[in-house]
Amino acid sequence: TGMNIAFIGLGNMGGPMAANLIKAGHSVTGFDVAGTTVEGARVAASAAEAAKGADVVITMLPNGAILRAVAADVIPAMTPGAVLLDCSTVDVESARAVADLAAAAGLGALDAPVSGGIGGAAAGTLTFMVGGSDEAFAIAKPLFDIMGQKAVHCGPSGNGQAAKICNNMILGVTMIATCEAFALADKLGLDRQSMFDVVSTSSGYSWTMNAYCPAPGVGPNSPADNGYKPGFASELMLKDLGLSQQAAEAADADTPMGQRALELYKQFVEAEDGKGMDFSAMLPRFEKRGRG
């Protein structure tokens, strides 16, 4: 039997995620401030109207400030016992603040950011990293199973966001390391296929080398083979690296590589030609540069 679901934020990710819930037989009421709709969903006039009477309210929004504003609207409209399920990538503090607000209203709350991108959202193969109570996780689990292939319960509220930004800090740092090493190999006269063959089976291997190789024509098919069209855009990587540094500052953690990765993606997106390019386009960036 289907649940009553409110889905707020029907953008690149939220749209296909909502469509999968509808396809699985759930009743979805959608709201997006841009007027975006999803076929088969009822359309609400506001986030609060969508949330009224819902068993689960899902949010898929751009950032923590918008999440806080939407949560302040929807929480008073929700039925006690219902679950607020945020799938956006936001700062840990916002996730915890929203969870506290929900708990005070007798609601369950989960922070459940995803990896897998737009392709994963459409295919229903996202990975969810989830913070919140066991009870709330159990209620949302059937929805994770529809929208994704895996949901890892990481502990209390905020821990889903913590897992996401730690993962993406590794990803950003590793992508840069892989790209600068390819550019160095070029200058040393090492061909890219040899570089791939060695590193992908040696101790320098990584997801960025083996599964998402930034060099065109080498390794599995990746955005590099498609003119560096995203994929995962550099500005989204920049956002996530900013969140990890924000969290590191709040927690007094020393993250020098994450800090440097943030600086490089910031320069790439804001001062160079990285905007709108996949985050693996760091390789052509390094190719063009010398030490100067």
Which amino acids are annotated catalytic?
Answer: 164
Among 43, 103, 105, 118, binds ligand NAD (CB under 6 A): 118
Q: Which two tokens stand for residue 65?
A: 């400030």
Q: How many Å apart are CA 147 and CA 16, to the nearest integer? A: 9
Q: Which two tokens stand for residue 132?
A: 């919140």
Segment interacting with ligand NAD, rule: CB under 6 A, options 113-121, 139-147, 149-157, 278-286: 113-121
Shortest approach of ligand NAD to residue 239 CB, angstroms? 6
Taking CB under 6 A as the rule, does residue 41 contact ligand NAD? no
Q: How many Å apart are CA 17 and CA 240, to the nearest integer? A: 21
Please say which residue, 70 or 147, places its beta carbon nearer to ligand NAD: 70
Q: Which residues pair with 7 in a beta bridge?
A: 30, 58
Given a contact cutoff of 8 angstroms between Cβ atoms, the answer to whether 207 and 273 are in contact is no
Please say which residue, 32 or 111, places its beta carbon nearer to ligand NAD: 32
Shortest approach of ligand NAD to residue 226 CB, angstroms? 15
Q: How many Å apart are CA 220 and CA 216, to the nearest integer? A: 9
Taking CB under 6 A as the rule, does residue 61 contact ligand NAD? yes
DSSP track, 66-119: HHHHHHHHHGGGSPTT-EEEE-S---HHHHHHHHHHHHHTT-EEEE--EESHHH
Taking CB under 6 A as the rule, does residue 91 contact ligand NAD? no
Judge residue 99's burial from the number of C-beta atoms within 10 Å of its C-beta, 0-12 exposed, 13-18 middle, 19 or more buried. Answer: buried
Rg (CA), the chain: 20
Interface map 218-257 toward ligand NAD (x if CB under 6 A):
--------------x---x--x------------------
| Alpha-carbon distances, residue 127 vs 8, 22, 47, 69 (angstroms) | 20, 19, 26, 26
Among 5, 6, 10, 283, binds ligand NAD (CB under 6 A): 10
Taking CB under 6 A as the rule, does residue 89 contact ligand NAD? yes
Segment interacting with ligand NAD, rule: CB under 6 A, options 22-30, 37-45, 49-57, 58-66: 58-66
Segment interacting with ligand NAD, rule: CB under 6 A, options 9-17, 140-148, 211-219, 272-280: 9-17
Look at residue 23 and give its three-state secondary structure: helix
Please say which residue, 121 or 173, places its beta carbon nearer to ligand NAD: 121
> Which residue matches tokens 């993962």?
167
Taking CB under 6 A as the rule, does residue 193 contact ligand NAD? no
Please say which residue, 31 or 268, places its beta carbon nearer to ligand NAD: 31
Shortest approach of ligand NAD to residue 146 CB, angstroms? 17
Please say which residue, 9 or 192, places its beta carbon nearer to ligand NAD: 9
Please say which residue, 94 or 183, places its beta carbon nearer to ligand NAD: 94
Q: Which residues pair with 120 in a beta bridge?
A: none
Q: Which residues pair with 130 in a beta bridge?
A: 153
Taking CB under 6 A as the rule, does residue 32 contact ligand NAD? yes
Give the interface with ligand NAD as residue ranges (CB under 6 A).
8-14, 31-34, 36, 47, 60-62, 66, 69-70, 88-89, 114, 117-118, 232, 236, 239
